[in-house]
Structure 1
Amino acid sequence: MKRIEVEQRTILIGLAGSHAYGLNRPDSDLDFRGIFIAPKRYYLGFDRIEQQDTGWDEPGIFPFIDGNKDTVIYELKKILQLLSGANPNVLELLWLNTYPVVTPVGQYLIKHKKLFLSKKVKHTYSGYAFAQIKKMETHRKWLLNPPQKKPLPSDFGIEDEAVLIKDELHAFLEYLYNLIRGKIEFLEEAEQLYQLLTADIDFKGVLKQYTLPDTTLEYTQKLTNSRKDFIRLLQKSQNYQVALREWKAYLSWQENRNPARAEMERKSGFDLKHGMHCIRLLRSGLEILQQGQLIVDRRIAGDVEDLKAILKGEYSYEEVMKMAEDLVAQMEFVYEKSTLPPRPDLEQINELCMELVEMQGWS
C-alpha cells in the first residue's frame, strides 16, 4: 500500500522507544509505532498486508514521519495477534503518554488495553530480557576473547566430503520438524500439551539455531531413516555454519558499532544498552503481574535514574546480572499470586477486532 493510503486509515501513532521510556538523549532517534485498518480487499480478497515500514519519503498526511526510517505502522489484525501474544515491543503501544495521532477508533482500542494483559507476560518479558542477556554475553565474549580467524570446514572435521549448504541443512531440518510434529499432532486429549508443542515452541527455529547433540544423533538417524555418515556430516555442517554465522556477526558488529557505545563497552566490559533493556523489561513484566498495568515511562515507574546509571557504566557486569537474577526470582514468586488471567480471552479480542473494523468502515 502507498504511504498515504495507510495514513488515511491509521487509528493511532505513538512515540515509542527511548522517548517513551524517558531515557532519550539529545541525539536519540524518534521511534514511531502505529496501527491502521486495511481496506476491504485486504479482508475479503487475496491481498495481504501486515505492516508498513517503508515509503516514508512518499507524499503523506503526517509530516512528522517524513523520511523517518524508525517508523512502523501495523495492520490491525497483525497487531492484535502480537498483543494477544503479550509481545513487549507492541504491548507498550497502548500504554504510551504521547500519541501524535489518535482517532476515536484508536481511543476505543486503548480503552480496551487491559484485555491483552495476562500471565503470559512472565514468559514474554523474561524471554525478551534473556535475549538482551544473550547479546550482552556474546559481545562480552567478543570483547574479552575475540575470534582470531574465519572458521574453515577442516576445523570441524570435514575433510573429504563437501559441507552441506544452508539450503540442504534447512530442508533436512524441516523434514525432521515435520516428523516430530507428525508424532504429536493427534494429542487431542492433551490439548494444552498439543498447543505447547505445535504452536508455542518454535521447533524449526530451535533446530536451525542449535546443532544436533551427540545424544540424539542415533535417534535422529532411526527417525529419518538416514545413513550414519549423513547424520554425522549434518552435525559437522551445523557446527560449521553456526561458527561461520558467528564470525560474520562479529565482523558486522565491529564494522557497525557506534563509536561512543563501543568505548563504553570497552571500559565496562559489556554492552550497557543491552544490560539496561534487560533490567527494564524484567521490571516492567514484574509490574504488570503485580499491578495489572504497564508503566512504559520509567520516570513514572521511579527507576529512570537507576536505568541511566546502568547506561553510564555505574554498575558492573556482575551487578547487572545479579539484578536480573533477583528480578527473575521475584517474577516467579509474583506469577503464582498474580490476579491476571492465565491467557487473554481470544473470543473477546476477536469481537473487539470486528468492532474496530466496523467503526472504521471499508472506505
Structure 2
Amino acid sequence: MNNLTNVIKERLTKIGKDFNEKEYGFLNTDERLRTPVLITLGGSHAYGTNIETSDMDIRGISMNSADNILLGKDFEQVANEPTDTTIYSFDKMTSLLTNCNPNTIEILGVKPEHILYKSDIGEELIKNKDMFLSLRAVKSFGGYANAQLYRLQQKSLVALTPEQLNAHIVKTLNGMRDMLEMKHDMKGIQVHLKDGEIVVDINVNDYPAESIAGVLNVFNKTLNDYHKNSVRNEKAMNHGKISKHAMHLLRLYMMCEDILLKGEINTYREKEHDLLMDIRNGKYLGEDGRPNKEFFDIVKEYEVKVEYAKKHTYLPMEPDIEKINNFRKRMNLRMVEQITKRR
C-alpha cells in the first residue's frame, strides 16, 4: 500500500477538498494503524450538510496486528481530536455495528466518492453490511435521536413549563435506559412521573453493583446537565447550536426509516438535503431563536414514519450473531496470513 496520507489526499483532491498531510501524519506513524481496511469522510461532509466553516471529519477501521489477533488483544480505537479523526479496530467496529450504532454504521453507507481508502477486507465488510441490520436499530437510532432532542431542549429550556420539562426528562432518561440496558444486558429499569416528581423503578436480581452504579451515575449526570443548562441556555443559543441539533435529530430519523423499510444505510441525505439545510440555516427558528411549531410538526411526522417502519420492517429482531462471528474469524485469519507472508 502507498503512503496512506498520499492515498487520502489524492481521493480528497478529486472531490475538491483540502488535506494537510502534516496534520494527519499519525495515520502513517501510529503502529495501530498499520493495516487500515476502510477510511471514509464522516460528519457533515458525509451527510451532505456541511457549510463553509465545517470541519472535515475522518472515520475508519484498522485491523489489529497479527500478534494482537493471536493474543486476543484489541486497541479498540485511535482518536485524534485536532483533526476530528477516529479509527476503530475491526473487532470494536463489528461489535458496534452489531448494535446498529449510528456513529459507526454510517461508515458503511457513505457515497462511493467519500471512501478515501478501501482494502479487500474493507470491500468484504461493505459487501456484507446487511448482516448487521436488525430491529436493534430502533433502540440505537431512537436513543441517539432522543439525545439530540435532549440537547435541543437544553438549549431552549425557558420554552418549557416545569411539567413539560419533567416529562421531557423522563423521555430522555427512558431513551438512555434503552441504550444502557443494551450495553449492560440488563432489564427492569423504568423512569416515570409520580405526583410531579421524576422517580426510577429498578427491579433486578443478582446484578453487579458496579453496573447499577454506572447506570445511576449516567442518570445523575443527565439531571445535573439539565439544571446547569437551565441557567446558561441563553449563552448556548447565541452559539447557533440549536439548528445543528435540530438538523441531526431529523437526519437520524431519516436514516432509521431507510434501514427499517428499505434495508439501506444512506448516510448522504440527497433527497432531504434542502430540508436539512433549511433547518441548519435557521429557517425553523422563531424570533426568540427557538425551534418553532412548524419544526416540531416535522419531528412528529418523522416519528410517525419511524413507528410505521418499525411495524412493517422485514428486518429480524436480532442480527445473526453466528454469521457475524464467523465473518470476524475469517477476516482476522486472512489478516494474520497476509501479515505473516510479508515477514
- TM score, norm. by length of structure 1: 0.64
SS of the counterpart of 2:294? helix
Q: Does 1:115 find its partner at 2:84?
A: no
1:304 counterpart letter in structure 2: H
Distance in 1 (alpha carbons) for counterparts of 2:66 and 2:219: 48
1:262 aligns with 2:238: yes
Equivalent AA in structure 2 for residue 10 of structure 1: P
Alpha carbon RMSD of aligned pairs, Å? 3.7
Residue 314 of structure 1: aligned partner: 283
> 1: distance between equivalents of 2:105 and 2:230?
32
2:327 maps to which residue? Answer: 352
1:45 aligns with 2:21: no
| 1:325 corresponds to 2:325 | no
1:35 maps onto 2:61 in alignment = yes
Residue among 185, 202, 205 paired with 1:199: 185
Q: Contact 1:109–1:356 (CA<8 Å) still a contact in 2?
A: no
CA distance in 2, matches of 1:297, 1:347: 30
Q: Secondary structure at the match of 1:298?
A: coil
Contact 1:126 1:328 in 2 (8 A): no
Structure-2 change in CA distance of 1:213 and 1:115 (3 Å): same
Task: Tell me the distance in 1 between the aligned counterparts of 2:101 and 2:219.
Answer: 31
Q: Which residue number corresponds to residue 338 of structure 1?
A: 313
Deviation, 1:263, is 5.6
1:326 positional shift: 2.1
- CA contact 1:122–1:285 (8 Å) conserved in 2: yes
Which structure is richer in relative contact order (CA contacts within 8 A, separation 6 or more)? 1
CA distance in 2, matches of 1:254, 1:284: 31
Judged with a 3 Å threshold, the aligned counterparts in structure 2 of structure 1 residues 251 and 32 are, in CA distance, closer, same or farther, namely farther
Per-residue displacement from partner, 1:123-170 (whole Å, max 9, x unpaired)?
22122111111111111016889xxxxxxxxxxxxxxxxxxxxxxxxx
Would you say how many aligned residue pairs link Structure 1 and Structure 2? 270
1:201-216 pair list within 5 angstroms: none
Distance change >3 Å, CA 117–CA 254, structure 1 → 2: same
2:88 aligned partner: 74
More strand by share: 2
Distance 2:308 2:243 in 1: 27
For structure 1, the residue ranges without an aligned partner over 5 or more in a row are: 55-66, 146-194, 207-211, 221-234, 266-270
Is 1:125 the counterpart of 2:141 in the alignment? yes
Residues 8-27 of structure 1 show CA distances to partners (whole Å, capped at 9, x for unaligned) of: 21111100111111111122
Deviation of the 1:273 alpha carbon: 0.8
Q: State whether structure 2 residue 104 is matched by structure 1 residue 90.
A: yes
Gaps of at least 5 residues in structure 2 are 1-25, 162-180, 192-196, 205-215, 286-290
Q: How does 1:154-165 map to 2 (within 5 A)?
A: none
Q: Which amino acid aligns with 1:36?
A: S
Secondary structure, aligned partner of 2:149: helix
Counting aligned pairs with the same residue, the percent is: 26
- Does 1:12 pair with 2:26? no
